Structure 1
Amino acid sequence: MAMDSGVFTIAELVALGWPPTEIRRAQRAQRLISIGRGWVRTDAAHPDVVSAVMAGGALSCVGALSFHKQHRWPKIWIPSGYSDTHVRRSKHMKTTARPTGPFHWCQGYGRPLPVTAAVDSVAVAVGCAARCVTGEEWIAIVDSILNSTEITIPDLQADMGRVTQTVSRLFARCDARSQSGTESIARLRLISAGFSVEVQPSISRHEHADLAVGALLIECDGKLYHSDEASYRNDRRRDRMTLIDRWMTMRLTYDDVLYDWAGVLEDIRSVTRQDRHRIRRTDDPRRKHASPS
């Protein structure tokens, strides 16, 4: 991933097969520009990565996760509101310039891990994010990683450094079935409110909804959701299908979940208070009550 960022160490170049004479020739020709002891960049280098290395560390936390989202795993969920350059500082690196722009210094739990690349791995970035973002946001990030990449919880735990009891409890609340950050946060908030929540309930032989509280289906749209005509028609077809099968459907937007949760929760409770959400179909084995007392 360092080559993707355009920032790398001399040792990385050598490991990639660059002869030392070619590296020196590229430096003299300004095709490789020194930005710190043992670090160089290309003209096309990612500016946030350059800034992080020049500040004396590696791009980490939500910054590194955003980088991985852009270059390899587009479905990793990134919470909004973290626009600063997040840097995991190395005690062994000397800065070459005064940091410019808004910076946020990050560090995971336990002893500092060495900085060996310009962009932290997903696991190390997740470890740093545990001390930067909210618990809900962190779980939503990890849900998206589990759902959209080949990375598992043991993979993350093996490489992220110290796993504290707090982080272990957060891992225990993660669910790889969640397909969007909005869905993850809605699930967590419903459970916190006392509801029994089913994730990705089957509504036909080949289709699933996002969440279910009894017979109330909850569909969550992501921040960048834009329904084209085909998707719009399919959503309405699904709504008709589930209504015929005695489901109710409530559709929530990103803004509904993130910024108007009190209103959403009141709407859900207005349904559950009337006992309309309880499953009554004789052909459905799921009969557990879903609303809090």
Structure 2
Amino acid sequence: MPDLLLALDHAARCLPTVKAAILIESAMNQRKLTRPQLVQLLEGLPQKLRIPLSRVRSDAQSGTETAVRWWLEERCVRVRSQVQLAPRVRVDLLVGTNWVIECDSRRFHDDPAQYREDRRRDLALASRGYRVTRLTWEQVFLQWESTERMLRAMLRRREHRQVLRA
């Protein structure tokens, strides 16, 4: 099996930046890549790759989350990852002040108990003024053109910048 750093170096050089970021963030989240190893990886890359990849984080819990966050960041939209908004309610992405984007996969969200928990969380968030959008892996990676068009329409309305009222 190839060395992880070598594989990630090749990914950074050969794949689109966001796809390399997905691999790097996944390795970091799974604790297979340490911060010093990330620094070593980035130092070995040309500046045109090193600068954008310096945005990688270790808290992204899925490639879908990374892809959506990077898309928003590239549009200079304020987005935060893994934000605790209420007791027992941590969200994948908080866009602006009040738009929550959850990046769901069948693996974790098709279970009946998880489905109920997701709806409990959505209701708790809605009661506090948050708007929740759930995106599937398929919407992000297989139907991106359509998904992107809808996300752009939502951003144009600027509702994600409204002040929450208690």
User: TM-score band, normalised by the shorter chain?
Assistant: 0.7 to 0.9
1 or 2 for the larger relative contact order (CA 8 Å, sep ≥6)? 2
- Give the counterpart letter for 2:154 in structure 1: V
Q: Which of 43, 49, 72 is 1:190 aligned to?
A: 72
Q: Which of 139, 144, 150 is 1:267 aligned to?
A: 150
Label 1:121 to 1:251 Cα distance change in 2 as closer, same or farther (>3 A): same
Q: Does 1:121 align with 2:3?
A: yes
Q: Does 1:232 align with 2:115?
A: yes
What's the % identity of the aligned pairs?
Answer: 29
| Post-superposition offset of 1:157 | 4.3
Label 1:233 to 1:182 Cα distance change in 2 as closer, same or farther (>3 A): same
Q: Which residue of 1 aligns with 2:134?
A: 251
Q: Distance in 2 between matches of 1:235 and 1:164?
A: 42
Which 5+ residue runs of structure 1 have no aligned equivalent?
1-118, 284-293
Q: Distance in 1 between matches of 2:8 and 2:140?
A: 23
Indicate conservation of the 8 Å contact 1:220/1:253, yes or no. yes
Q: How many residues align?
A: 165
Label 1:278 to 1:256 Cα distance change in 2 as closer, same or farther (>3 A): same
TM-score by length of 1: 0.51
Q: Secondary structure at the match of 1:208?
A: strand
Label 1:225 to 1:133 Cα distance change in 2 as closer, same or farther (>3 A): farther
Q: Does 1:145 align with 2:145?
A: no
| Post-superposition offset of 1:221 | 1.8
| Post-superposition offset of 1:191 | 1.6
What does residue range 53-132 of structure 1 map to in structure 2 within 5 Å? Answer: 119-132=1-14
Tell me which protein shows more helix as a share of its residues: 2
| Post-superposition offset of 1:159 | 6.8
Q: Does 1:205 align with 2:59?
A: no
Label 1:251 to 1:160 Cα distance change in 2 as closer, same or farther (>3 A): closer
Indicate conservation of the 8 Å contact 1:200/1:209, yes or no. yes
The two structures, once aligned, show a CA RMSD in angstroms of 2.3
Q: Does 1:133 align with 2:18?
A: no
Q: Secondary structure at the match of 2:159?
A: coil
Indicate conservation of the 8 Å contact 2:103/2:137, yes or no. yes
Which is worse superposed, 219-228 or 128-137? 219-228
- Give the counterpart letter for 2:67 in structure 1: I
